Amino acid sequence: MRIAIVGGGYVGLVSGACLAAHGHDIVIVESDLGKVQSINQGNCPIFEAGLPELLAKTVGKTLKATDTIEDAVTISDATFIAVGTPFDGTSIDLTQIEQAAKDIGRALKKTSAYHLVVVKSTVVPGTTDNTVASLLEQTSGKKLGTDFGLGMNPEFLREGTAVEDFMTPDRIVLGGNDARAQNKLTQIYDCFADTDKVRVNNTTAEMIKYASNSLLATLISFSNEIGNLCSELPDTDVTSVLAGVCLDKRLSPIMPNGERVTPDITSYLAAGCGFGGSCFPKDVNALRKFSQQQGVKPSVLDAVINTNKLQPEQFVALLTDSMPELQGKTVAVLGLAFKPGTDDTRESPAIAVIQQLLKNDAQVVVYDPIVTTLPSEVPSSSNISIAKNLNEATKQADAILLVTAWDEFLALADVLNAQKRQPLVVDGRRVLTAGDFQHYRGIGLGPQTQNNGPDDDKSNKPDSNVASAA
């Protein structure tokens, strides 16, 4: 099928390249001319595993980019809207969605065949059937259901594994204003014959997306709350607690052959220094706001957000508990990306952690294997610098805070051993082995021994929750 995709960002580009690889004729509409050029030259404008290879396979054959929406829509059978819906602190900003709907509507005026418009962006329930539908009707002069159809097809891609997620989907949600729209949308995904399809109305499709992300965010905040409690309990470790929880056969089923299956969902049952990214914080906040507008008190979502907001503080408190005075101390922050495998720093807990360290007058050295510039939210200060590698970041550090679980950081013990130094290590992802360090503290690790930190007046306090090397 000929498909236009409005928005050449991470969702639009990945979806476009994957659908193009499946033989659809895709035109990506992007207002950023640099991006258009880059795509048409086969250069991948974002850091995403597998995407450069897909572009190399499809550009010039079944995939191209343009900045002219009218041309793209009029030669296509369907148009996806994959533009951003940023959260402005109160509600999601629909400016780009509205603009796309108007532009598509104006283009539809010039066509005679039935056209399917599909919202792929994450939008609050009702947006597709209300805002998008009426803008399309107004600007096209055409009638929904007769002249064009309207679908809602949320994406479930994770940054870093987006191509793999698209190519091996766990479900495809096919929202439509009527059976005709649903059938046409289903046809686009015929190439995924074995995947479970959920055919629903548009509002249900919108809700599925928000509910899915909110569930995952809830698991993380739940784990963090349990972790914060474990931090107060002698000889208790949240990783053992949650490992025990996950062995519930309803979370990790035992197959008839006796083998245990460990579904991915259990990886969200882990304590850390909080969730971030462009999706969870925005989507949970937007659903919470939407719920309030409907007169339904979002108690669980409130708690998920509040726990997450406090988590970077809980993490830094592990440091200040051992090292109360940070002025004159050098603190290395390992990781800027909101999770490993991406260069995205949006809503990364690292930002809140760094802000707090600077507020406490620490000298901060940051290192991330992929991100080499500080996010704009970090205030410019002579007290912060970026290191080029793990050794450089840690060689002067009095304390090291691990914020992002990059594999490279698993070498920290070796790096410190080579330096013959044993600064305090605070593990915000619980990926390090406590026994590898002389002074170790971890999120969700209860008071264990007396050894509290390298150089402060609280060391040897019996209530410290530092695990000391055996």
**CA–CA separation, 379 and 293 (whole Å):** 35
The position carrying tokens 């090291």 is 400
Residue 156 near ligand UGA by CB under 6 A: yes
Instruction: Using CB positions, name the residue nearest to ligand UGA.
Output: 267
Nearest one of 330, 341, 406, 343 to 373, comparing CA atoms: 343
Among residues 47, 189, 192, 268, the one that binds ligand UGA under rule CB under 6 A: 268
Nearer to ligand UGA, 157 or 163 (CB): 157
User: What is the nearest approach in angstroms of ligand UGA to the Cβ of residue 363?
Assistant: 27
When asked if residue 403 is in the footprint of ligand UGA (CB under 6 A), the reply is: no
Structure tokens at 344: 């995205």
169 binds ligand UGA (CB under 6 A): no
List 123, 270, 284, 365, residue binding ligand UGA (CB under 6 A): 270
7 forms part of the interface with ligand UGA (CB under 6 A): no
Question: What distance in Å separates the CA atoms of residue 69 and residue 78, rounded to the nearest whole number?
Answer: 13
Near ligand UGA by CB under 6 A: residue from 240, 267, 293, 381 = 267
Q: Which residues pair with 118 in a beta bridge?
A: 80, 151
18 is catalytic: no
The residue with tokens 């619980």 is 430
Residue 400 is classified by DSSP as E
Q: Is 368 a binder of ligand UGA (CB under 6 A)?
A: no
206: contact with ligand UGA by CB under 6 A: no
List 80's β-bridge partners, or say none.
5, 118
Identify the CA nearest to 340 among candidates 433, 402, 389, 392. Answer: 402
CA 125 to CA 213: how far, in whole Å? Answer: 14
What is the distance between the terminal CA atoms of the chain, rounded to a whole angstrom? Answer: 63
Q: With binding defined as CB under 6 A, does residue 104 bind ligand UGA?
A: no
**Which residues share a beta bridge with 59?**
63
159 binds ligand UGA (CB under 6 A): yes
Q: Note whether 306 binds ligand UGA by CB under 6 A.
A: no
Please say which residue, 96 or 213, places its beta carbon nearer to ligand UGA. 213
If we measure between CA atoms, which residue out of 154, 165, 405 comes closest to residue 276? 405
Q: Is the CB of 216 or the CB of 233 nearer to ligand UGA? A: 216
Using the contact rule CB under 6 A, the part of the chain among 29-37, 129-137, 268-276, 306-314 near ligand UGA is: 268-276
Q: Are 365 and 382 in contact (CB under 8 A)?
A: no
Q: Based on CB atoms, which residue is closest to ligand UGA, 282 or 395?
A: 282
How many residues of this chain interact with ligand UGA, rule: CB under 6 A? Answer: 19
User: Is residue 120 involved in binding ligand UGA (CB under 6 A)?
Assistant: no
Closest CA to 350 of 358, 434, 326, 465: 358
Site string for ligand UGA, 24-63 (x = CB under 6 A): ----------------------------------------
Query: Could you tell me the smallest distance in angstroms from the CB atom of residue 421 to ligand UGA?
Result: 29
Nearer CB in complex with ligand UGA: 125/447: 125
For position 171 contacting ligand UGA by CB under 6 A, the verdict is no
- 323: tokens are 């090292």
- Of 447, 369, 357, 372, nearest to 406 (Cα)? 369
- Footprint (CB under 6 A) of ligand UGA, residues 122-141: 122
Smallest Cα–Cα separation from 202: which of 111, 136, 298, 157?
136
Where in the sequence numbering do the catalytic residues fall?
A: 279
